[in-house]
Copies of this chain bind each other. A is one copy, B any other.
Amino acid sequence: MATSIKEVARHAGVSVGTVSNVLNRPDRVAEATRNRVLDAIEHLGFVRNDSARSLRSGRTNALGLIVLDVANPFFTDVARGVEDVSSHTGSVVILCNSDDSVTKQETYLQVLQEQRVRGVLVTPAHESTLPIDALRSRGMAVVLLDRSGERPDLCSVAVDDVAGGQLATDHLIAAGHETFAFVSGPLTIRQCDDRRNGMRRALRAAGLRLGSSTRDVLVPAMNARSGAEAARRLLAGGRENLPRAVLCANDLLAMGFMREMLRAGVRIPEDLALVGYDDIEFAAASAIPITSIRQPTYQLGQTAAELLLDECENADTHAHQQVTFQPELVVRESSGG
């Protein structure tokens, strides 16, 4: 079907070895010969067969990326960072959504091994333990995404969610507020738990008694609908008992929360200051722009890809790193500017 190196060789009147050299070490071939080969390639429309290439050489130029769900803007940006880095090195990204399912994750790991990818970037599914040593022994590098240094013999890249929670809360404390609430999905989600801990740490540091100054409002999901539910629950306790400052575990929650509060006549930020998390594009575009915590998601992907590629290229000199990025406070109207 497709033309092979052999046909090119025949057409150019050289041996296959020479064609391979033209492709891989053009400087070792005399100019006249090289041109003859290049003409033949052009003329026949020859395209290298990467399967043969990597079968023989033992290395592919593909990377695996396993995320929970690309439809989540967080992972989308990460994916973009990964793809940009790897495209610069001529590598190719195989995209996998695990949907936080251990089964899917394992299936994909198997497939990626069969593909003999050079390495995988993986956000481990909830509660799963990656068979990292088994992967390693098959020559696959592994970098953890969005999980901080659980193992020192591994590269990982994450954002410090405790610091983020703290940052947001410090901002609210500085504005003089004294009663707080944390609106969040289940605390079994690591991000939620970390952000909550950051909040509590900030409150303690400010000398506030946790029991009386703050409360948690836990809802089942991390979307706008759940945010609205949280607002209704607080409103049910009576207008006079509302907290003065609220931190939501992500921006979707904050948007739903805000809408419900406004509808009930609560003024933001005058009556209640609000801070979200993630700084998605829409946080700035909403009717009352939302103060939020920005994470360097794109950079997260970039860095992870760079670490992985370094581990592949320079296996001997490579030093495993646990990179933790610091989040950033973006102040907007919802918290009083």
Contacts and interface: CB of A to CB of B under 8 A. Distances in A.
Nearest to A282: B282
A92 B63 CA distance: 12
A285 interface: yes
Nearest to A228: B285
B79 A70 contact: yes
Contact of A92 (B52, B97, B111): B111
Contact of A252 (B47, B54, B62, B285): B285
Nearest to A75: B76
A79 B96 CA distance: 10
A77 B83 contact: no
A95 B110 CA distance: 19
B281 A1 contact: no
A47 B138 contact: yes
A51 interface: yes
Interface stretch (A113-121, A147-155, A210-218, A237-245): A113-121
Assembly of this chain: how many copies? 2
B93 A95 contact: yes
Interface string A158-202: 000000000000000000000000000000000000000000000
B281 A252 contact: yes
A336 B195 CA distance: 39
Contacts of A62: 94, 115
Contacts of A52: 51, 55
Contacts of A58: 1
Given A1-B58, A285-B256, A287-B258, A94 B96 contact: no
A49 interface: yes
A80 B76 contact: no
Q: With a 10 A CB-CB cut-off, give which of A139, A223, A252, A286 has the most chain B CB atoms.
A: A286
Contacts of A137: 45
B69 A224 contact: no
B114 A49 contact: yes
A223 to B, nearest CB: 8
A6 to B, nearest CB: 14
A195 to B, nearest CB: 20
Which are the 5 A-B pairs with shortest beta-carbon distances?
Answer: A287-B287, A224-B285, A51-B55, A255-B285, A282-B282
Given A45-B137, A50-B116, A287-B287, 7 more contacts: A50-B51, A51-B51, A87-B96, A90-B111, A92-B111, A93-B95, A95-B95
